[in-house]
Chain A
Amino acid sequence: DAGVIQSPRHEVTEMGQEVTLRCKPISGHDYLFWYRQTMMRGLELLIYFNNNVPIDDSGMPEDRFSAKMPNASFSTLKIQPSEPRDSAVYFCASRRGDTNTGELFFGEGSRLTVL
């Protein structure tokens, strides 16, 4: 299995630009999660999907952030416009839905730097 695949691995952009992060979950996994990791706040859950439907987006910081999952094998996290405080590592994770205790499988993350 290829694991959770994220792109880009690194992104450097200027304030005000649009940023799109991409994620391909593990095939057969029903749940997809987006996390943000910073030194100050640790790992924060931004949003998660079940069967491509957003279930809980209470962790999305503000309207500049949006996430979509158009099909079972692809999700995007978009920031528009980006700000320096959005600099962080963004992780995508997925898990199976046929158990209540399933572990999360993480991608390698997308490191975003907003100048």
Chain B
Amino acid sequence: AQSVTQPDIHITVSEGASLELRCNYSYGATPYLFWYVQSPGQGLQLLLKYFSGDTLVQGIKGFEAEFKRSQSSFNLRKPSVHWSDAAEYFCARYNFNKFYFGSGTKLNVKP
């Protein structure tokens, strides 16, 4: 079955520190992968997406993600976290009109 795994439920980083959120996917050839962010009480907003081509993709708010086929991973990174980045982050895979979401990673940012 198709699945997306986010192994970290909660992560806490200090403001200004770097961030990496992990995402692993299973099944299939070239996946269509996404990262979404959800602020409290809000819907999900797209951060970035990967379809093909350059394996390092840039997104909004200074985020980037790298697709690594050999590791079946699509990790999200940011070099310097801001307090406003505190939110929940979802990795998703798209296939045949369906989006399969990971369970999410909640990011806390310490002052």
Is the beta-carbon distance between A48 and B97 smaller than 8 angstroms? yes
CA distance in complex: A104, B34 (Å): 10
Instruction: Give bound CA distance, A31 to B98, whole Å.
Output: 11
Tell me if B84 is interfacial: C-beta within 8 Å of chain A. Answer: no
Chain B binder among A11-19, A77-85, A106-114: A106-114
Q: Is the CB of A43 closer than 8 A to any CB of chain B?
A: yes
> Which chain A residue has the least Cβ–Cβ distance from B95?
A100
B35-49 contacts to A (CB < 8 Å): 36, 41-46, 49
**Total A-B pairs in contact (CB under 8 Å)?**
45
Would you call B75 an interface residue if the criterion is a C-beta within 8 Å of the partner chain's C-beta atoms? no
The interface size bin for chain B is 20 to 34
A103 and B44 within 8 A (CB): no
Q: Which residues of B contact A107 (CB under 8 A)?
A: 43
Question: Given A4-B43, A43-B90, A91-B44, are A104 and B103 also a contact pair (CB < 8 Å)?
Answer: no
Report A47 CB to chain B, min CB distance, Å: 11
In the complex, the answer to whether B43 meets A55 with C-beta atoms within 8 Å is no
Return B42 CB to nearest CB of chain A, in Å.
6
> Any chain A CB within 8 A of the CB of B83?
no
Report B-chain residues with C-beta under 8 Å of the C-beta of A52. none
Cβ contacts under 8 Å, A103 to chain B: 34, 46, 49
Which residue from chain B places its CB closest to the CB of A104 in the assembled complex?
A: B99
A42-B103, A42-B104, A106-B43 in contact; A101/B94 too (CB < 8 A)?
yes
Question: Which residues of B sit under 8 angstroms from A45, Cβ to Cβ?
Answer: 98-99
Bound form: Cα–Cα A107–B42 in Å: 8
A-B pairs with beta carbons under 8 Å apart, 17 shown: A31-B97, A33-B99, A43-B90, A43-B101, A48-B98, A55-B97, A91-B44, A101-B32, A101-B49, A101-B94, A103-B34, A106-B36, A106-B44, A106-B45, A107-B43, A108-B43, A109-B41
Closest 7 CB pairs of A and B: A106-B43, A43-B101, A106-B44, A42-B103, A108-B43, A101-B51, A103-B46
A interface vs B, CB < 8 Å?
4, 31, 33, 42-43, 45, 48, 50, 55-56, 91, 93, 100-101, 103-109
